[in-house]
Amino acid sequence: MSGARARVAALGAVYSDPAALRALQEERFAAQLDRLRTRHPRYREMLQGAEVASLDDFARIAPTGKSDLASDPEAYRLDAADPSDILWDIAYTSGSTSAPTPIFQTARDFRAILTAQLHMAAIRGMSADDRIANLFPLTTQPHGAWTRANHAAAALGCELVVGLGGAAADDYPVTRRTTEIVRMLERTQPTVLWGVPSYLARILEAARSADVPLTGIRMFAASGEACPPALQAQLTQLAAEVGSPDAVVSNSFGASELQCGLVECVPGTGFHNPAPDQFFFETIDDDGAPTSDGEPGRLALTHLDRRGTAFLRYVLGDVVEYTIEPCPECGWAGGRVVAHHRREGSMVKVRGNLFDVTVLGAAVGAVDGVREHQAVVRTASDGMDELVLRVVETADGALDADAVQRAVRAAIRVTPRVERVALFDIHGATGSLKPRRFVDERSS
């Protein structure tokens, strides 16, 4: 039996048995429906008179959008019914496109999150023998990425160190500078570096510059932004240079609405839903109808066992292919995102050309010598749109600005003006979770 298959089998036979799993999901959903009908302000209204009894009846339920939640977060939270339903914590969505929105967890939900974190660890191959370095920054609002990495270590019973990077504050200066984080890693020699991949690369570059050996790294747990092949290669190369030649990148697909992430058992096998008894995923078309298994659609989440913020058919904003076919590598039947097409809202128009900002980002990231970048669209003095690419070059100084221009023109048919900047100019001291790679400064 392969390592991945053995780890998944240890979580319980039900997760590898599609029929048994579906029966468990239906059972959980029936109980959740009862709670929504009696205790959920928004769905109590929506479900009144609706003939919904099973997961097969979903086409009868209108999807919920992010803006619905943002306009009234309290309406998506169940009334407390017993002591296990008291508030445990609040996490906020990272708010890259809108104001941060609170996601409420009850005491019971928190235990469910710990369980989902244990499943994530088992699927991706993290264990009690690991030493985790949580390298998410301390953000301005409580964010699930930083918080749950700590909780995952608690649930696993493994060693944990926390980088606590992020913006410095005058009143309570608790965050650490990069050099301090590198020294901490040298002292503790973690096996797992968990964080936003572009930031993990920065930390390893700092370790390399300071000649700090980090010989125990076996996994990068990448989260919070896409980690394309070029960035994965950069991470494994940097790991080799500091003394860890066998490190792998474990990619993930997370959401604040889950307080966990979908993870791969083996790179390239798709993002596995770690808790199919808590989360039901489907893909839907623009009219809200389910698309066929494995066909592209907008990913929608339904909570099957939640007491705090709980959703029915909540549209997460990603166009993906999702399948419930068991994973050929590990046998997991909990469902997998096998292809990620795009984030919704990622299309912009510049000088009459409509393009996807993720395509722009991938094109720039693939140019040799590009360490980090930020694309800015603004209105120039002649009233026309102007695309400026702010580029940070790699330490070897191999950046060719013309190559950046050519790559962008080929990808999106817009020729940018290229500016060389320092890394700080892009990351700044904002304490944000990830770099903003696209900024639209036009007024309308």
Instruction: By CB under 5 A, name the binding residues for Zn ion.
Output: 265, 269, 327, 329-330, 332
Question: How near is the Cβ of 254 to Zn ion at its closest, in Å?
Answer: 17
Structure tokens at 421: 């900047």
Q: Residue 35 and residue 78: Cα distance in Å, rounded? A: 8
Helix (H, G, I), strand (E, B) or coil at 361: helix
Nearest CB to Zn ion, comparing residues 327 and 387: 327
Helix (H, G, I), strand (E, B) or coil at 4: helix
Question: How near is the Cβ of 260 to Zn ion at its closest, in Å?
Answer: 16
Question: How near is the Cβ of 15 to Zn ion at its closest, in Å?
Answer: 11
Partner residues linked to 315 by β-bridges: 300
**What's the angle, vertex CA 293, arms to CA 287 and CA 295, rounded to 5?**
65
Nearest CB to Zn ion, comparing residues 330 and 392: 330
Of 175, 101, 99, 90, the closest CA to residue 139 belongs to: 175
Structure tokens at 173: 């200066």
**What's the angle, vertex CA 371, arms to CA 238 and CA 145, rounded to 5?**
70
Nearest CB to Zn ion, comparing residues 175 and 269: 269
The greatest distance separating any two alpha carbons of the chain, rounded to the nearest whole angstrom, comes to: 67
Q: Residue 299 and residue 325: Cα distance in Å, rounded? A: 16
C-alpha of 276 from chain center: 18
Q: Residue 198 and residue 286: Cα distance in Å, rounded? A: 33
Question: How near is the Cβ of 249 to Zn ion at its closest, in Å?
Answer: 16
Nearest CB to Zn ion, comparing residues 16 and 269: 269
Question: How near is the Cβ of 225 to Zn ion at its closest, in Å?
Answer: 23
Q: What are phi and psi of 405, to 5 degrees?
A: -60, -45
Question: How near is the Cβ of 353 to Zn ion at its closest, in Å?
Answer: 39
Nearest CB to Zn ion, comparing residues 219 and 327: 327
Nearest CB to Zn ion, comparing residues 279 and 332: 332
